[in-house]
């Protein structure tokens, strides 16, 4: 059991909140604000309880250095618009720099402050106790609402939680509740769609879900490791040669457990990854040399759609092809459309799959769009996330 907002005495307290504002920026502006919006319920809850709020987040990979392109200023501007309130922000040399310390400590009652990028400080990723101590000194209580980084033990997620009365925010609570229910008690038939680049990223989840799911549909580059493992010809498709044994093992386990693994029968192939290139459809186990499978093919789309029709629960993680380059986004689009039209309970996780569903404008039709890529996978594998463990009773 973890502590939640209701377990904290918040009235007139200074509350330090770790959020996940790791959003894409373009031209100095927030390009996709879904993660910021996802944090609003907790922020609004704290405003209602008259808390003085100190927000902190990482953004991108500044590698422990101060870099102007990774400042949280555009996020402060955007958040201020969303809330219709002032957000205190100051450019500084990081979240525990002298200027930042003074700024955080002079926060007026009821104000909202956003600290500078936590990853400007090398102590963040090292879970440096000194950094955690300074962050903790800003407030009376700590709330972690950053599901997207809950699988990392960093100073602003794990370290600080041990130093203050701490609890999960509303987003973190919801993510854990929904994703844990999927692996404990999904309504059947439960169908899982897995795609993306690497078998190695997702093998843990597939293994965990084999005894729980009724069917597992595999697309993306991952599929070619399965075809190659079974003796197929996959041309120049992306394959992880050191994972072929694992792929065979999964197929064997699946048949022992009466879970169907469905692979894409055909593939949209090309010799290069670019938009205006000749595309040919080949059976996925007969792709000629020089050609790469870059998307699931039209027959595979039909099979996948057909399989999903009767699902009562669906989990989707990972695109079906190189979805960022048309025309290799057809399979991902078709699956996105199918999933968004289903009556069953639908959950999507994974950075690239969520980006695809947002781009298509289907996010509203999905029951739960997870804000965590790696974090959602680790939770589904049944692992305890360090950022969450630190909040246990």
Residue 93 burial by Cβ neighbours in a 10 Å radius (0-12, 13-18, 19+): middle
Pick the binder of ligand ADP from 322, 334, 366, 379 (CB under 6 A): 322
Q: State the minimum distance, in angstroms, from the CB of residue 183 to ligand ADP.
A: 17
**Strand 14-18's sheet: what is its strand order?**
112-114, 52-56, 14-18, 141-144, 166-168
Q: Which is nearer to ligand ADP, 185 or 277 (CB)?
A: 277
Q: Is 373 in the site for ligand ADP (CB under 6 A)?
A: yes
Q: Is residue 372 annotated as a catalytic residue, yes or no?
A: no
Ordered DSSP codes for 167-228? EE-HHHHHHHHHHHHHHHSPPSSEEEEE-SS-HHHHHHHHHHHTTT-SEEEE-STHHHHHHH
Q: Which of 62, 123, 293, 351 binds Mg ion (CB under 5 A)?
A: 351
196 binds ligand ADP (CB under 6 A): yes
Among candidate residues 350, 351, 372, 387, the one labeled active-site is 351
Nearest partner of 375 among 222, 153, 193, 226, judged by Cα: 153
Is 374 catalytic? The answer is: yes
Q: Which of 38, 76, 238, 261 binds ligand ADP (CB under 6 A)?
A: 238
Record the tokens describing residue 65, joined without a space. 């250095």
Contacts of residue 363, defined as CB under 8 A and 6 or more positions apart, other chains included, come to 34, 354, 357, 369
- Residue 271 class from Cβ within 10 Å (0-12 exposed, 13-18 middle, 19+ buried)? middle
As given in the structure block, the two tokens for residue 184 are: 């404990």
Supply angle C-alpha 346, 248, 220, rounded to 5: 40
Per-residue x/- marks for ligand ADP, 213-232, CB under 6 A? -------xx-----------
The window from 10-18, 185-193, 274-282, 349-357 that contacts ligand ADP (CB under 6 A) reads 349-357
Stretch that binds ligand ADP, among 29-37, 73-81, 141-149, 320-328 (CB under 6 A): 320-328
361 given a catalytic annotation: no
Q: Which does 322 bind (CB under 5 to 8 A by kind): Mg ion, ligand ADP, none?
A: ligand ADP
Question: Can residue 235 be called a binding residue for ligand ADP (CB under 6 A)?
Answer: no
Q: Prior bond to 189 cis, omega within 30?
A: yes
User: Residues binding ligand ADP: what is the number (CB under 6 A)?
Assistant: 19
Q: Taking contact as CB under 6 A, which single stretch among the options 111-119, 175-183, 196-204, 280-288 is the one that binds ligand ADP?
A: 196-204
| Alpha-carbon gap, residue 205 to 207, rounded angstroms | 5
Answer yes or no: 373 catalytic: no
Spatial CB neighbours of 272, under 8 Å, sequence gap ≥ 6: none
Binding range to Mg ion, per CB under 5 A, among 23-31, 221-229, 245-253, 349-357: 349-357
Of the two residues 57 and 376, which places its CB atom closer to ligand ADP in the complex? Answer: 376
Kindly report the length of the chain. Answer: 393
What's the closest the beta carbon of residue 198 comes to ligand ADP, in angstroms?
6
The entry of ligand ADP, Mg ion, none that residue 331 binds, CB within 5 to 8 Å by partner kind: none
From the list Mg ion, ligand ADP, none, which binds 74 (C-beta under 5 to 8 Å, kind-based)?
none
Q: Which is nearer to Mg ion, 297 or 372 (CB)?
A: 372
Q: Report if residue 351 touches ligand ADP, rule: CB under 6 A.
A: yes
- Minimum CB separation of residue 356 from Mg ion in Å reads 11
- Compute how many other C-beta atoms are within 10 angstroms of the C-beta atom of residue 128: 17
Strands 112-114 and 52-56: parallel
Residue 386 is a binding residue for ligand ADP (CB under 6 A): no
Rounded CA separation 320/317 (Å) = 9
CA torsion angle for 148, 149, 151, 154 (degrees, to 10)? -170
Q: Per CB under 6 A, does 350 bind ligand ADP?
A: yes
Among the listed residues 123, 321, 372, 386, the single contact to ligand ADP using CB under 6 A: 321
**72 or 229: CB nearest ligand ADP:** 229
Q: Which of 37, 374, 383, 389 is catalytic?
A: 374
- Cβ-based nearer residue to ligand ADP, 51 or 377: 377
Give catalytic residue positions: 35, 198, 351, 374
The residues that touch Mg ion, with contacts defined as CB under 5 A, are: 351-352
């Amino acid at each position: 059991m973890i502590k939640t907002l209701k377990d904290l005495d918040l009235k007139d307290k200074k509350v330090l909140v770790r959020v996940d504002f790791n959003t894409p920026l373009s031209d100095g502006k927030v390009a996709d604000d879904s993660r910021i919006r996802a944090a609003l319920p907790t922020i609004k809850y704290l405003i209602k309880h008259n808390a003085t709020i100190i927000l902190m987040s990482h953004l991108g990979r500044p590698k422990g250095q101060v870099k102007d392109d990774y400042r949280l200023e555009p996020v402060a501007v955007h958040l201020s618009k969303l809330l219709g309130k002032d957000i205190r922000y100051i450019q500084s040399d990081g979240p525990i720099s002298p200027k930042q310390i003074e700024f955080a400590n002079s926060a007026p009652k009821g104000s909202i402050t956003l600290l500078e990028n936590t990853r400007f400080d090398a102590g963040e990723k090292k879970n440096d106790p000194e950094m955690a101590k300074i962050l903790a000194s800003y407030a009376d209580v700590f709330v972690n609402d950053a599901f997207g980084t809950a699988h990392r033990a960093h100073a602003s997620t794990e370290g600080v939680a041990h130093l203050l009365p701490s609890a999960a925010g509303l987003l973190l609570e919801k993510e854990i509740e929904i994703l844990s229910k999927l692996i404990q008690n999904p309504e059947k038939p439960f169908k899982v769609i897995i795609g993306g680049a690497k078998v190695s990223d997702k093998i843990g989840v597939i293994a965990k879900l084999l005894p729980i799911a009724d069917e597992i549909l595999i697309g993306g580059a991952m599929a070619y490791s399965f075809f190659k493992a079974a003796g197929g010809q996959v041309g120049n498709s992306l394959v992880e040669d050191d994972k072929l044994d694992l792929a065979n093992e999964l197929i064997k386990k699946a048949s022992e457990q009466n879970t169907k693994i469905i692979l894409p029968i055909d593939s949209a192939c090309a010799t290069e990854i670019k938009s205006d290139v000749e595309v040919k459809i080949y059976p996925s186990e007969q792709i000629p040399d020089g050609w790469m499978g870059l998307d699931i093919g039209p027959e595979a789309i039909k099979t996948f759609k057909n399989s999903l029709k009767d699902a009562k629960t669906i989990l989707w993680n990972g695109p079906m092809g190189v979805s960022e380059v048309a025309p290799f986004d057809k399979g991902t689009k078709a699956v996105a459309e199918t999933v968004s039209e289903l009556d069953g309970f639908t959950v999507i996780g994974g950075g690239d799959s969520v980006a695809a569903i947002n781009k298509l404008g289907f996010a509203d039709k999905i029951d739960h769009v997870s804000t965590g890529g790696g974090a959602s996978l680790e939770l589904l594998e049944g692992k305890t996330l360090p950022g969450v463990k630190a909040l246990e009773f």
